[in-house]
Amino acid sequence: MKEVRLRFAPSPTGYLHIGGLRTALYNYLYAKHNNGKFILRIEDTDQTRFVEGAIESLINSLHWAGVKYDEGVFVEDGKIVEKGDYGPYIQSKRLDIYQKYVKELIEKGHAYYCFCSKERLDAVREEQKIKGLVPKYDGLCRNVSIEEAKERIANGEEYVVRLKLPHDYDIKFHDLVRGDIVINTNDIDDQVLLKSDGFPTYHLAVVIDDHLMEITHIVRGEEWLPSTPKHVYLYEALGWEKPTYVHLPTVLNKDRKKLSKRHGDVSVEDFRDKGYLPEALINYLALVGWSPEDNQEIFTMDELIEKFSFERVSKTGGIFDKDKLNWVNGHYIRSSSVERITKLAIPYLKEAGLIDDKFAEEKYYWLELLVKTVQEGLDTIAEIPEKVAFIFKEHIDIVEEDALEVIKGEQVPAVLNAIKEELNKVEELDEEYAKGFMKLVQKATGVKGKNLFMPARVALTGSTHGPEFVNVLVLLGKENIIKRIEHVEEKYL
């Protein structure tokens, strides 16, 4: 059997869209499920959209997400390199290849030179619109002979090359998600294949490259579906075997609109910066448009590879549900080591101004305890500073109503006083001592249960609920606890 080869072929427009990552992921999963190859090709033939550093950022995002490819464009030591036997994998380096096939198409009568100016094309389109017709090229240059065309080119006239579609011809292909598709050429434009700057259009380059790179399955977003008949016709014109097509439903937001930059986060980097773990994003994205046979929701990459199939990809848009993503992310945060989450949390804590480099280094274990204290309840890493900010405060102001109520209790002065006294008996409050600490306060005051713990918690955190109290004691330490209690005594008792 032929080796299965799939490719992800993004245009380097500056960032990797979350929908693009899902496309890459499905390509990857299918390739690996079939012991095939996955290839990264860069489609940069639209030079007007060139963005500095875009290839690197794309590759970094794929790398971060753990979507690995076997061939194509890589970044090594900060440099772009290519690996594989089918290169170059960057389209702007393949211009001579496209020229060769353009010539062949012209010679075989499947393409023609077109000299129409932009003004003429605009005028044609305007007229068609007025007449209520679908705007398309009117075919004026279809009949320019090759000899005449060559002469005009020699005279310096600007030109493009267009695909010469036969009239009234049914182009047929099968899509694994959408089934059989038939489009008549009367409904399709004579697509430009080669632009006046000598660069191919996407349509030409994609077909030539997919063929030469021996791509067996083309898996891409459904926005490319209208282009596919033109591609299929090119395969036929060049006498090449067609690949298998799979068009994926668009990733939509809850309002069933395309996820766009205007509506918030769409780039993979945005999600990384918001504190999503790569395996959580991948796990969740796999489920946007695909569903397993059972109700499994948490998958490792290997499980996804094993279970993934196009039969279970839906035709309709996949809804991107942030709450569900948060739930999946929370799951992965909870099952990660404290060390991993702490290391990820440090940049956020620095950014929030809670710690600096020196602090992160000298008090690393304290930070681990800090993170461990809130790890259970997190949706994202970015939430950590907000959740731990109370530990860093100079003193605690009590604002919550139920907390103010608690601190009015008649036993409170005795409890707070006993906390200070018990603390003064030791050098520092280590974890062992902290564990038995409230028992000592209980013994000293005779107060127990809620009446003991609530005021202590409120005085030290400002709230009646919150993380593991023993951890709070250790994190604050003797000096801070005393300071906080004195502040509460002064202000609220």
What does the binding site for ligand GLU look like in residue numbers (CB under 6 A)?
A: 9-11, 43, 202, 206, 220, 224
Examine the residue annotation and report whether 274 is marked as an active-site residue of this protein.
Answer: no
Please provide the DSSP assignment of 370-401 as one string: HHHHHHTT-S-GGGHHHHHHHHH-SS----SH
Give the sign of the dihedral formed by CA 66, CA 67, CA 71, CA 76: negative
Query: Is there a contact between 328 and 336 (Cβ–Cβ < 8 Å)?
Result: no
Which residue, 171 or 341, is less far from ligand GLU as judged by CB? 171
Q: Which of 100, 129, 261, 439 is catalytic?
A: 261
Which residue, 27 or 373, is less far from ligand GLU as judged by CB? 27
Q: How many CA atoms lie within 13 A of 68 on its CB side?
A: 7
- Exposed, middle or buried, 341 (CB in 10 Å: 0-12/13-18/19+)? buried
Rg of the chain (C-alpha set): 32
For 35, which DSSP code?
T
Nearest residue to 221 via CA among 65, 413, 431, 10: 10
Nearest residue to 476 via CA among 412, 394, 397, 357: 394
For 415, which DSSP code?
H
CB of 213 to ligand GLU, least distance (A): 12
Structure tokens at 368: 């681990």
List all residues 6 or more positions away from 205 whose beta carbon is below 8 Å from its beta carbon. 43, 45, 91, 94, 98
CB of 202 to ligand GLU, least distance (A): 6
Provide the pairing of β-strand 318-319 with 251-252. parallel
CB of 223 to ligand GLU, least distance (A): 8
CB of 220 to ligand GLU, least distance (A): 3
Which residue, 202 or 348, is less far from ligand GLU as judged by CB? 202
CB of 224 to ligand GLU, least distance (A): 5
d(CA 20, CA 32): 18
Which residue, 231 or 484, is less far from ligand GLU as judged by CB? 231
Which residue, 177 or 206, is less far from ligand GLU as judged by CB? 206
Give the alpha-carbon dihedral of 356, 360, 362, 365, to 10 degrees. 150
CB of 176 to ligand GLU, least distance (A): 15
Structure tokens at 102: 């353009």
Which residue, 202 or 284, is less far from ligand GLU as judged by CB? 202
Residues annotated as catalytic (active site), given as ranges: 261
